[in-house]
Amino acid sequence: MPDTVLPLLLQSYLDELVPDRPPELRAMEAVAVAEGFPIIGPACGHFCYVVARMIGARRVFELGSGFGYSTAWFARAVQETHGAAGEVHHTVWEAELSARAERHLRALGLASQVRFHVGEAVAALADETGGFDLIFSDIDKEGYPDSLPVIERQLLSGGVLIVDNMLWGNRVLDPRIDDPATAAIRCFTRLVTESPHWAGSILPLRDGLLLALKA
């Protein structure tokens, strides 16, 4: 998948508007470029931070967290709003990736805000109690539709859902493309936008972010 559906000049402009960030976060961005590791990038990261601050999120759950880049933005938001009481749940399949994320977050002074899970992300969310103010999803796209009932159960009323890759390199725009991942994203989009339980829109940042409010 292309890293962005936006023209590169526009993406660069939006990234440049993001306030200066810690050297460790910039280092993570450089590593992602060098390794070809998909991260949400500065503009989307800052957007997630702003949303979390706007709603006063105290508990955030990430379905698919990579090496902790998006986690860092959410952790900073809950730390600034709630101090030690704020928490972000980081979930990945690989123990090595989880350890790598913990190293980055520790260097940023944010590890104490984070609960680390190694395993299947939706199952990890299903096992939690207490509800969440914000859920972020970036799992395998084929899993998007089946994840929605668990998300609906665990997200508090008035909570916010953010989902990445909703434009999928513009593949969702081409009716001739109907591979499992693209079909799943289209299905998930309809499930949310046609449901009376959600109010949401897709923002064309990078590869498309769904922002939805649980009614």
Q: What is the C-alpha separation between 59 and 52, in angstroms, rounded?
A: 10
More confident residue, 9 or 134: 134
Average pLDDT, the chain: 95
> What is the per-residue pLDDT for 2?
46
Residue 82 phi/psi, 5° resolution?
A: -125, 0
Q: What angle do CA 8, 12, 18 make, to 5 degrees?
A: 150
Distance (Å) of CA 73 to CA 38, 43, 90: 16, 11, 12
Q: What is the pLDDT of residues 72-119, one digit of tens each?
A: 999 999 999 999 999 999 999 999 999 999 999 999 999 999 999 999
Residue boundaries of the structural domains of the chain: 8-214
Local confidence band at 6 (pLDDT 50, 70, 90 cut-offs): confident
**Position 3 pLDDT exceeds 60:** no
Q: DSSP labels for 112-154?
A: GGEEEEES-HHHHHHT--S-EEEEEE-S-GGGHHHHHHHHHHH
How far apart are the C-alpha atoms of 183 and 197, rounded to whole Å? 22
Q: What is the pLDDT of residue 102?
A: 98
The pLDDT tens digits of the residues spanning 21-51 come to 999 999 999 999 999 999 999 999 999 999 9
Q: What is the mean pLDDT of residues 136-153?
A: 98
Residue 4 has what pLDDT?
A: 58
Segments of the chain assigned E as strands: 59-63, 87-92, 114-118, 132-137, 155-163, 198-203, 209-214
Band the pLDDT of 55: cuts 50, 70, 90: very high
Superfamily designation of domain 8-214:
Vaccinia Virus protein VP39 (3.40.50.150)
Which amino acid, residue 95?
A
